[in-house]
């Protein structure tokens, strides 16, 4: 939270702005700016993007950035399944605040979604920030996961039942699927979706 306080105060100090003047420039209320400076609210991804557009010279502390692997050709299916195409990647930096519950011991990566079964949460072609999970990580009901099932990569909501895994899509036209206990060993969870990363910098959190 301290980084948001410092960022807002730095912008106001360097540009001689009152809270009300800054709020007007970035399209929020004076009360919102006041809450951020008081440490009672975080900057939303939309507001952060607006600030960096208006004040591109603001220096980012390296400790506020997360380095992630961007797999240009790795496709996760929001449809009937898509095969992973490549393991080639480039390194990109993202603001740490978009990664909810950031764990420095975990790896993070960006992949591309394909299909419309997760509309209107995830659209075809969206870049997704994925937290790579360790083996045997428990499923948190109704979170969105990237997983491999029968050698195909999927992006769906998972719910753990007594003797099966429920696989749900956000598009109501797509039927719910089930993985029974006899086939659970064919399920390999790769990671959990943490955020949408549109055009690498236009960032919106998944909830």
Cross-strand partners of 202: 198
Two structure tokens written together for 108: 């993070």
User: What secondary structure letter does DSSP report for 175?
Assistant: P
CA 46 to CA 34: how far, in whole Å? 17
In whole angstroms, what separates CA 149 from the centre of its chain? Answer: 22
Q: Which tens digit of pLDDT belongs to each residue from 7-24? A: 787 788 778 888 899 999
Residues of the chain with CATH 1.10.260.40: 2-59
Burial (CB < 10 A; 0-12, 13-18, 19+), residue 134, is exposed
Provide the pLDDT for residue 3: 63
Q: Is 80 exceeded by the pLDDT of residue 45? A: no
Provide the pLDDT for residue 42: 78
What CATH code would you report for 64-205?
A: 2.10.109.10
Average pLDDT, the chain: 81
CA distances (Å), 135 to each of 67, 142, 190, in order?
22, 19, 9
DSSP assignment of 36-56, as one string?
A: HHTTSSPPPHHHHHHHHHH-T
Q: Is 50 exceeded by the pLDDT of residue 30? A: yes
Residues of the chain with CATH 2.10.109.10: 64-205
Question: pTM to 2 decimals?
Answer: 0.66
DSSP assignment of 63-128, as one string?
A: GGEEEEEEEEEEEEESSS-B-------EEEEEEGGGSTT--TTSEEEEEEEESSTTTTTS-TT-EE
- Assigned CATH class of 2-59: mainly alpha
């Amino acid at each position: 939270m301290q980084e948001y306080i410092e960022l807002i105060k730095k912008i106001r100090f360097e540009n001689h702005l009152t809270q009300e003047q800054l709020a007007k420039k970035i399209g929020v209320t004076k009360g919102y700016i006041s809450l951020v400076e008081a440490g009672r609210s975080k900057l939303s991804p939309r507001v952060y993007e607006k600030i960096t557009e208006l004040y591109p010279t603001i220096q980012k502390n390296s400790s506020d950035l997360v380095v992630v692997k961007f797999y240009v050709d790795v496709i996760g299916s929001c449809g009937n399944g898509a095969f992973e195409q490549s393991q080639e990647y480039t390194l990109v930096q993202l603001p740490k605040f978009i990664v909810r519950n950031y764990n420095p011991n975990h790896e993070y990566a960006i992949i591309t979604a394909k299909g419309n079964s997760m509309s209107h949460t995830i659209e075809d072609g969206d870049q997704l920030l994925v937290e790579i999970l360790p083996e045997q990580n428990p499923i948190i009901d109704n979170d969105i996961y990237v997983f491999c099932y029968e050698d195909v990569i999927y992006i769906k909501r998972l719910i753990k039942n007594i003797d099966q895994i429920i696989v749900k899509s956000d598009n109501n036209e797509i039927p719910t699927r089930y993985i029974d206990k006899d086939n659970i060993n064919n399920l390999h969870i790769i990671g959990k979706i943490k955020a949408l990363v549109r055009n690498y910098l236009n960032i919106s959190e998944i909830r």
